[in-house]
Structure 1
Amino acid sequence: MTRAWILPSLLVVCGAAVASTLFLRGSSGTAVALLTAFALFAGVNSPLIFPRSIGAEEARRRSAADGRPVIFWRPGCAYCLRLRIRLGRAARRAHWVDIWRDPAGAAVVREANGGDETVPTVLVAGRPHVNPEPTWVREKLSS
């Protein structure tokens, strides 16, 4: 199991344990509601809501060809989730790199952030931008 799935897995397991306890105590409605909430929270924190990640080198190559931004992210990052949700459908036009799956992507982010793995880091025309406003990223995706 990759570490991208650790948090969502823990959320589902904990939700199931709490829901089981509530169910055994006779609170089946509360158990179902709580399990649903844990499952939704796990889904939001999983890599599933992000477009398919590619490698950093491939993303840079594609960005040079089509001019679209490269977004470096990692699962469980609240700022990455905010960016993804606020971009909406436009997010699919960007090139996404999961720094936990791609060591070269993590190296690019560390180089841009003085050794820190601060995400989201967005590369536009080869220049890094750390945690930019989603409206600014959306503008870059539409141009």
Structure 2
Amino acid sequence: MWRTWVPSLAIAAVAVLVVATGALDPASIAIAVVLFVLAWIGSPLLFPRHVDDATARLEAAGTNTPVVYWRPGCMFCMRLRASLFRRADRAIWVNIWRDPAAAARVREVNDGNETVPTVFLGERAHTNPDPEWMRAQLR
């Protein structure tokens, strides 16, 4: 569980360092604010609730609901999540760092790599899908 927070905590630590070494000038404060916002965006807080792989497959089975495999700190995952706005709650989100079975499923369809976001619609995998395509699936 702690591993999912490492990227955000590292960014927040850099923000604190910038403020501590920047003598509280406006540029240092602005940089720190941007870094804190990035830390929040990259944290698990911004993403819908995590479910495990088995639960996600069951929930998606009869509903044609997309299952999005993601991990914290992934810029492509953040881009996809941000582009979906409120529609993101219509998909099922699985954090591959919290579920080894989910990570294995992602590796299975991505030549052994944990490339995320990987979206399953039914049994078909879409690696790093276009946000416009994803929005269309959630209408």
TM over 0.5: yes
Q: 1:6 and 2:6 equivalent?
A: yes
Pairing partner for 1:106 from 84, 100, 103: 103
| RMSD between aligned residues | 1.4
Runs of 4 or more, structure 1, over 2 Å off, are 27-35
Counterpart AA for 1:92: D
Question: For residues 1-143 of structure 1, what are the structure 2 equivalents within 5 Å?
Answer: 2-23=2-23, 27-142=24-139
| Distance in 2 separating the partners of 1:125 and 1:17 | 46
Indicate the percent of aligned positions where both proteins have the same amino acid. Answer: 44
Structure 1 residue 32: deviation in Å? 2.6
Gaps of 5+ in 1: none
Counterpart AA for 2:13: V
Number of residues paired by the alignment?
Answer: 139
| Distance in 2 separating the partners of 1:20 and 1:123 | 44
Counterpart AA for 1:84: R
Higher helix share: 1
TM-score by length of 2: 0.92
SS of corresponding position for 2:93:
strand
Counterpart AA for 1:8: S
Structure 1 residue 33: deviation in Å? 2.2
TM-score by length of 1: 0.90
SS of corresponding position for 1:72:
strand
Counterpart AA for 1:126: E
- Structure 1 residues 4-30: Cα deviation after superposition (integer angstroms, max 9, x where no partner): 21111111122112211222xxx4433
Q: Which moved more, 1:87-96 or 1:8-17?
A: 8-17
